[in-house]
Homo-oligomer: A and B are copies of this chain.
């Protein structure tokens, strides 16, 4: 049964050093407050899997030295430019990047969701993405004739972590249109969600709310973290904090500036 944790930190115990951690794309509900809590705890050697891309979350974790490997289709700050700590780590050869393409990550999570060992995907053939992925295979389509097709192994993370608008006390989490969060939870052994608020009553009792609800059955722990995606957006709730992201991009351009950012916005508990 899911635990509704009193403290954010208590909800995060399943995220351990070396953990295979799945996180959503920048506009699907990123658990930024939880991410800052993990950095404060000093988490190490994460194997981060972005579904299918990441922005500030990955850059912060990489800059803070928490990540050994990242599997992703992209890490960038969008209109705020490149992700400076990601870029610095890669050009320094200090980070293992498993480059993918968005639909491959979606499909590989769906394979795990369905208990399938692999899933096929069109495209990819002739790309260097495929060339460098020795965990992917090309077979001749058994239904075709001389028709090569890529097979991707299922991705089964140990923990999925995201932020959503609300949960109820049974641990049901309302995710709305962000269906990839359901797939992420189904594919992962454990799922932790932070939410803006608790909903009174059971989300599954109302057919309209139920349609956008990830059942508590899949949830390990929930914690309330108001504005928990900040400075990233929470769809339909608040936009990205552009001024803050601009400040981040500027500070994180240097290691000293990044340290200043961590001090000010991560390690200072009042700011987090």
Contacts and interface: CB of A to CB of B under 8 A. Distances in A.
Interface of A: 103, 107, 110, 114-122, 137, 139, 141-144, 147, 149, 151, 153, 175-177, 207-212, 235-236
A241 B139 CA distance: 51
B207 A236 contact: yes
A138 to B, nearest CB: 9
Contact of A141 (B117, B141, B176): B117
Contact of A212 (B118, B141, B208): B208
Contacts of A110: 110, 114
B118 A117 contact: no
A176 B120 CA distance: 29
A210 B121 CA distance: 28
Nearest to A236: B207
Question: Which 9 A-B pairs give the minimum distances between C-beta atoms?
Answer: A211-B212, A207-B236, A176-B211, A137-B142, A116-B120, A211-B211, A177-B211, A143-B153, A176-B207
A115 B209 CA distance: 30
A48 B121 CA distance: 28
B212 A149 contact: no
A122 B118 contact: no
Contact of A117 (B107, B114, B117, B143): B143
Given A117-B149, A176-B210, A207-B236, 13 more contacts: A117-B141, A117-B143, A117-B147, A118-B141, A118-B143, A137-B142, A139-B139, A176-B208, A177-B207, A207-B235, A208-B208, A208-B209, A211-B212
